[in-house]
Amino acid sequence: MSTADNHGQRFMKGRGSYARPALENRGGFPLLSARLSALARRFAAIVAVLVMAGAFVSGAAAGSASTATKVSTNFPVHAEVVPSDPFFVDQWGLNSIGAPTAWNVNLGSRSVLVAVVDTGVWWTQPDIQANMWTNPLDGTHGYDFVDGDTNPMDVDPSGTYHGTGVAGVIAAITDNGQGIAGTAQISVIALRALGSNGQGSSYNTSQAIRWAADHGAKVINLSLGTNETFIGPTDIQLAVNYAWSKGALIVAAAGNSGTSTLDYPARLANVVSVAAIDESGQRASFSNYGSGLDLSAPGTRIVTLNGGNNQPNNVHYLQGTSFSTPFVSGAAALLLSVDPSLTNVELWNILNSTAVQPAGAQRPYNPDYGWGVVNVWNAINALSQPFISVNSYPSSVSSSSTFGVSWSILGPTGIAVTDTHVLWGTVSGRLGNATAAQSGRTHDPFTANGFSMPSGAGAMYFKVVATVNGTTYTSREYTVTASSLPDFLFVLYQLLASNLLYLAVFILVLAGVVAFIPQRRAARARRAVARPVTLYPPSYYVQAARPSQPPPLSQPVQPATRIEPQTAGPPAAPTQISPAAQPVTPIPMAQPTAAKKRCPSCGTMVAADNMFCFFCGNRFR
């Protein structure tokens, strides 16, 4: 600090205030030599600097309990969002999934398209009309597969307006002073596949799913389903597979029967299934649950948009897993608003990994809540730092097959990844093996190949580790089980597993072969030790061997008498013709042999005395 820093004053050692030098020398102190005075002034200046620095540090310490060691810069900030929507105070569901906190980062982007396959949407509702997708070709907002036109209006004499309520949870206009707030400010495609009574066909539903995928929907909401069980593939399953291949995330309701079996199509492998929780945070009594459940979301006393008129604040209360599903769809849409490059697999991984289990629930997964209650703030916050998304791995392999694992590291784009690899082992929690280290950048794809199931192991466990900016991140632990099928059968199973009908046919044929081979061998063994027994006289069979006996002696043939037919006219004396007697040639008798005949149905050669074909079951006459 210079001597002029305190307006011409110096801080003197032993004093508690600033004083002028002239007054100090007048106080009777002896004057020092010039050299000593210079040293004293320097010492005083150093002391003053140290005291000022100490005062600054102590003041900073008083304002903060700890000193940060890492400074974060250039992060987005927004004003706190407190929606002006009058019914927001009763939207407990949005608070339970952390939506208001997430809105401080991103309210949503209308470039993200979410398709609502339902009873349609009352798209002139003033609290959602601005968030309806508009077809650039004809200005419409979707399609009606029930009536076959381009007006997907939700017409419901019962007053439920199911599709409108679902769309309201996803994308009602936020902070507009009326109605409710939606989960994300995105664009809704209205697709009417169900009638006004909530009933519809799988054909219309499958057509709507395909239409949504072809028109750019990245999230498809299916607040519908059935509790029926299907053996083979359905038109809905094929449509879901198609939409998945186009990059869409399909979200469906688990069902409202309170059973441990998920509804269809929520139980399909590439559909995010959603159960309902109540205001206490526990599973709703009506909600389906069970193995395969992915997520839970609020589903009781949900205030949402109503249809029937265009009056402001036209809302009502609904419940069911149908209204849990749009919370998850809205969360996925908000994630895509933050990072549009996310794939459907990555979206699913983020939602599952950031979900929150209710207090006392088994972690990390349990069949009552799946991976937990969706939390959109946790999901968005996960993208602010590196996040490992395991995108591909087999759930089951044969004992001798090899497989690979692929993953990506999400978060801020382009950050250097100095090391990423897979840790694996045959005991959960004890992963003592590691693949070779790889390097790259965030959002790059990574793959480790050459894995095989260790001999005698029933399962293999693995997780992915990555080091980004000197910090190590770890994925959750995954499991690959060993199949008990022989290798060639496992390969066939893998090829056919994508089509359940073909798989069922394969199993039936395999069972038939397994059952037929030992029976045929046993029949051969019986024929080798026992002669066939004729159940009917040999004359019943064309190829039957004649009885074994000496040939008959030649007998003179008696002359035959033939009577000519009479014609009109005078009667004529009958003429008797005596043909020359011909000797009868003895017929050589064949020795008894195992005669064969060909089945006229399948062509199989069978024993002549068989009553029916042993191969195809055709009965001989």
Catalytic annotation, residues:
118, 162, 322
What whole-number distance in Å separates Cα of residue 218 and Cα of residue 99?
20
What whole-number distance in Å separates Cα of residue 113 and Cα of residue 185?
10
Residue 367 identity: P
Output the DSSP codes for 462-506.
EEEEEEETTEEEEPPPEEEEEP-S-HHHHHHHHHHTT-HHHHHHH
Q: Give residues with Cβ within 8 angstroms of 154, minimum separation 6.
A: 118, 119, 120, 121, 122, 161, 162, 163, 164, 190, 192, 307
3-state class (DSSP) for residue 331:
helix
Q: Answer whether the bond into residue 358 is a cis peptide, omega within 30°.
A: no
Give the burial class of 456: count Cβ atoms within 10 A of its Cβ; 0-12 exposed, 13-18 middle, 19 or more buried: exposed
Q: Do the Cβ atoms of 208 and 160 come closer than 8 Å?
A: no
For residue 144, the cross-strand partners are 149, 192
For residue 472, the cross-strand partners are 467
Around 552, how many Cα atoms within 13 Å sit in the side-chain half-sphere?
A: 8
Exposure string for 199-227, b = 16+ CB within 10 A, e = fewer: ebebebbbbbbbbbbeebbbbbbbbbbee
Q: Do the Cβ atoms of 467 and 419 come closer than 8 Å?
A: yes
What whole-number distance in Å separates Cα of residue 275 and Cα of residue 8?
75
What whole-number distance in Å separates Cα of residue 271 and Cα of residue 223?
12
What whole-number distance in Å separates Cα of residue 124 and Cα of residue 115?
17
Q: Give residues with Cβ within 8 angstroms of 335, minimum separation 6.
A: 342, 347, 350, 351, 376, 379, 380, 383
Sheet holding 142-144, edge to edge: 142-144, 187-192, 113-118, 219-222, 249-253, 272-277, 295-298
Q: 348: left (phi > 0), else alpha (psi -120 to 50), else beta?
A: alpha
Q: 409: left (phi > 0), else alpha (psi -120 to 50), else beta?
A: beta
What whole-number distance in Å separates Cα of residue 196 and Cα of residue 157?
7
Residue 252 identity: A
What whole-number distance in Å separates Cα of residue 198 and Cα of residue 194?
5
Q: Residues 126, 130, 132, 137: is their CA dihedral positive or negative?
A: positive
If one counts every other C-beta atom within 10 angstroms of the C-beta of residue 618, the result is 15
What whole-number distance in Å separates Cα of residue 409 and Cα of residue 474?
10
What whole-number distance in Å separates Cα of residue 562 and Cα of residue 8?
165
Residue 104 identity: N
